[in-house]
Amino acid sequence: MEQENNNNDIFDIVKKIDDNTWEVPKEYKPFMRVPGKIFVSENMLRSMERETIDQVANVSALPGIQKHSLAMPDAHLGYGFPIGGVAAFDSEEGVISPGGVGFDINCGVRLIRTNLHVDEVRPVISELIKNIFQEIPSGLGSKSRIRVNDNELDNVFLQGARWAVEQGYGVESDVEHCEGNGMIEGADPSQVSSKARKRGKPQLGTLGSGNHFLEIQYIDNVYDEKAAQAYGLEEGQVTFMVHCGSRGAGHQICTDHLRTLSQSVNKYGIQLPDKQLACAPTTSPEAQNYFKAMACAANYAWANRQIIMHWTREVFAKTFKTDIDSLEMDLVYDVAHNIAKLEEHIVDGTKKKLYVHRKGATRAFPPGHSEVPQQYRAIGQPVLLPGSMGTPSFVLHGTQQGMDTTFGSACHGSGRAMSRKKAKGAYKGEDVKRNLAAMGIHVEAMNPAVIAEEAPEVYKKSSDVVNVVHDSGIAQKVVRMVPMGVAKG
Amino acid sequence: MVSDTIPTKFEFLEHTADAKFKAYGTTLEEAFENVAMATMNVMIDTTPIKGLITKHVELESSSLDDLVVDWLSEILFLFEVEEIVFGNFKVESVSQQEDNKYKIVGEVAGEPIDPSTHKFNTHAKAVTYNGLQVTKENSYWVLQVTIDT
């Protein structure tokens, strides 16, 4: 359900570039250093909140911003940066901003294929989801099955997915199929507060709550045979998707460093239209210390998704009364969608090192890029675009055009269209669950209210979002997956 | 003369992705109590929560805005790490120090989290600076906060 916001004035602000691209002119606000660029259809723009446009404009006030302040097709109101916001800053003259990453550092998605066909899974879907819900700690206050000590936590912070694999949660090829090999360089656990450690320790290996989920899906549509083959995907195949992040560790790290950076803004003479955009010059100790701690949280999140995937593989094997290997549950890819990364991009014909902030946006690197796993390099990086509980998810591949226009970024999901408060008023969890069951989608959640808050209708249609991505050339559709069962946190 | 009545303890506002609210108080102390209550009510109706365990909180921040963020962040930290759901909030004082910093002294009380009786809605995960406002309107204080969920 699209919400009409009577935002006709949005069309007085933005300038149409083409059917799916709109510019927020630099003249819109006096503090803007570069124009904004929003990738949406006219219809989607009509339902966009004015404040989201303002947030795109606000980001362009940050020093050292390159080319444009970008908003992906799933953009909606965030705090500081919009959700779906992408901005790149010069590595020497720019800034690093925790608000451009968000509290759930390296919240992300991974997709795992199986050799199971939808017809084999359909009869046991309810049992499978129940088993997953039982084995994977989900929801607020859930207890992890593992406890790490301080030394182990340091290694999680430093090594990411590899730490988990070395502990027996998965195999070597899993690491190779994560963005950046499931690890970001430069992590320094000494920049992580004892509070963040206390929150992080008991939560490693938990899904969390809110929009985090574990979904079983099957591929019902293949758009690009060659790319699908490279990714090991085919029609009728069952896949599963894990969506979660760095849990309390990430939230505390963001809270701690946001506090420091908000106090250093004056010291560096930076003018901000929104305090949540607190930032510091890239080379300053404040920015670098945040980056070192952010890297710890990012690595924690990769380890977390790795552990959860491993336990899910075990549930599949147990449910199908076989071993993990015989179900060929290979990791297709794992992408971060709340992160800042030091990357090389071409700006005005010159190669530059930039801190690319992706807040509710994923990397989408093109064919031939050295950071795309060898196996996929001819095709481009797999881009994972999860839908909501009742709507399809998509796999796309990165393109050169995306590299040139969005710093190699695409959107991270469908994007909310309705607040949780409104959703709870409009839907009852039990009804939503029943309606989804009638569509063949089995849902398990801790509390029916969570199901209501995450009802399919509260999100933009994933197909609308993905079509804008595809038509604007940021990334190209490969396959579509439809949900069969969901475990919600 | 100033009136002693506030419109309500707190009220939720519209926000697409997160939880936004205004909390009121005739004194800063009362406003800080109500803003804490609003934060817990993002997650759960605190009416039936018993004050079985009490935690003393004492914090200093460089501004009133920061004090709001730090106070609520501390409560969310205690909620998550000590596994206590809080229902009672008592602020003894909010004061400006000689070094111009602001200080809060208070106590929060609640009961251990029990998943079988506590049915949580959205998890209040962190306190943002977005749209943060500490203002005095007429005779009462208004604290506006957006919580990351």
A-B interface: how many C-beta pairs under 8 angstroms?
112
Question: Which amino acid would we find at residue B84?
Answer: I
For A328-393, the DSSP string reads: T--EEEEEESEEEEEEEEEETTEEEEEEEEEESEEE-PPTT-TTS-GGGTTT--EEEE---TTS-E
Q: Do B113 and A142 touch (CB under 8 A)?
A: no
- Tens-place pLDDT, residues B70-80: 999 999 999 99
Q: For residue B47, how many other CB atoms are within 10 A of its CB?
A: 7
> Has A193 been labeled as part of a binding site?
no
CA A208, CA A300: separation in Å to the nearest integer?
14
**Does residue A488 surpass a pLDDT of 50?**
yes
- Tens-place pLDDT, residues A469-486: 999 999 999 999 999 999
Who wins on pLDDT, A296 or A276? Answer: A296
Strand bridging mode A442-444 / A21-24: unpaired
Least confident interval from A236-240, A333-337, A346-350, B2-6:
B2-6
Q: Which fold has domain B10-148?
A: Archease, Possible Chaperone; Chain: A; domain 1 (3.55.10)
pLDDT at B2: 45
pLDDT at A2: 38
Check: CB of residue B35 under 8 Å from CB of residue B104: no
> Has A47 been labeled as part of a binding site?
no
Q: Is residue A443 part of a domain?
A: no
CA B117, CA A447: separation in Å to the nearest integer?
11
| Chain B residues touching A252 at Cβ < 8 A | 77
Region of residue A125 (phi > 0: left; psi between -120 and 50: alpha; otherwise: beta)? alpha
Q: For residue B131, how many other CB atoms are within 10 A of its CB?
A: 16
Instruction: Indicate the SS3 state at residue B91.
Output: strand
Computed over every residue of chain A, the mean pLDDT equals 94
Which are the contacts of B11, defined by CB distance < 8 A and separation ≥ 6?
B21, B22
**Does residue A461 surpass a pLDDT of 90?**
no
Question: Would you give the DSSP letter of residue B43?
Answer: H
- Tens-place pLDDT, residues A128-186: 999 999 999 988 877 899 999 999 999 999 999 999 999 999 999 999 999 999 999 99
Instruction: Indicate the SS3 state at residue A91.
Output: coil
Check: CB of residue A70 under 8 Å from CB of residue B120: no
Scored b (16 or more CB within 10 A) or e, B103-129 reads ebebebbbbebeeeebebbbbbbbbbb
Check: CB of residue A204 under 8 Å from CB of residue A144: yes
Average of pLDDT values for A210-226?
A: 95
For chain A, what percent of residues have pLDDT higher than 70?
98
CA-nearest residue to A200 within chain B is B81
**Does residue A6 surpass a pLDDT of 60?**
no
Average of pLDDT values for B55-59?
A: 98
pLDDT level of residue A34 (50, 70, 90 thresholds)? very high
Q: Do A276 and B129 touch (CB under 8 A)?
A: yes
Q: Is residue A369 part of a domain?
A: yes
Residue to test with chain B: of A59, A203, A213, A421, most B Cβ within 10 A: A421
**Does residue A8 surpass a pLDDT of 70?**
no
Which are the contacts of A434, defined by CB distance < 8 A and separation ≥ 6?
none
Q: Do B128 and A278 touch (CB under 8 A)?
A: no
Q: Is residue A121 part of a domain?
A: yes
Average of pLDDT values for B38-59?
A: 96
> Has A386 been labeled as part of a binding site?
yes
The CA distance from B116 to the nearest CA of chain A, in Å, is: 10
Query: CB contact, 8 Å: B139 with chain A?
Result: no
Average of pLDDT values for B41-54?
A: 96
Query: CB contact, 8 Å: B80 with chain A?
Result: yes
Query: CB contact, 8 Å: B130 with chain A?
Result: yes
Interface of B with A in 88-117 (CB under 8 A): 113, 115
Least confident interval from A65-79, A405-419, A473-487:
A405-419
Alpha helices in B44-146 (DSSP H): 64-81
Q: Is residue A478 part of a domain?
A: yes
Region of residue A208 (phi > 0: left; psi between -120 and 50: alpha; otherwise: beta)? left
What is the tally of helices (H) and strands (E) in chain B? Answer: 2, 8
Q: What is the total count of domains within chain A?
A: 1
Residue to test with chain A: of B73, B130, B132, B147, most A Cβ within 10 A: B130
pLDDT at B4: 64
Active site residues of A: 412
- Tens-place pLDDT, residues A415-455: 777 777 778 788 888 888 888 988 889 998 877 777 888 88
For A198, the closest of B62, B81, B121 (CB atoms) is B81
CA A398, CA A477: separation in Å to the nearest integer?
9
Query: CB contact, 8 Å: B14 with chain A?
Result: yes
Check: CB of residue B94 under 8 Å from CB of residue B28: yes
**Does residue B24 surpass a pLDDT of 80?**
yes
**Does residue A3 surpass a pLDDT of 80?**
no
Query: CB contact, 8 Å: B148 with chain A?
Result: yes
Check: CB of residue A49 under 8 Å from CB of residue A3: no
Q: Do B17 and A419 touch (CB under 8 A)?
A: yes
Q: Is residue A424 part of a domain?
A: no
Model confidence, pTM:
0.95
CA A247, CA A255: separation in Å to the nearest integer?
13
| Chain B residues touching A251 at Cβ < 8 A | 125-126, 148
Strand bridging mode A69-79 / B10-13: unpaired
State ipTM: 0.92
Q: Is residue A445 part of a domain?
A: no
Residue A398's domain comprises: 10-417+459-488
**Does residue A1 surpass a pLDDT of 60?**
no
> Has A357 been labeled as part of a binding site?
no
Query: CB contact, 8 Å: B26 with chain A?
Result: no
**Does residue B1 surpass a pLDDT of 50?**
no
pLDDT at A419: 75
Query: CB contact, 8 Å: B53 with chain A?
Result: no
pLDDT at B52: 97
Q: Is residue A243 part of a domain?
A: yes
Strand bridging mode B140-148 / A237-244: unpaired
pLDDT at A143: 83
Task: Identify the CATH number of the domain in which residue A191 sits.
Answer: 3.90.1860.10
CA B27, CA B21: separation in Å to the nearest integer?
18
CA-nearest residue to B72 within chain A is A255
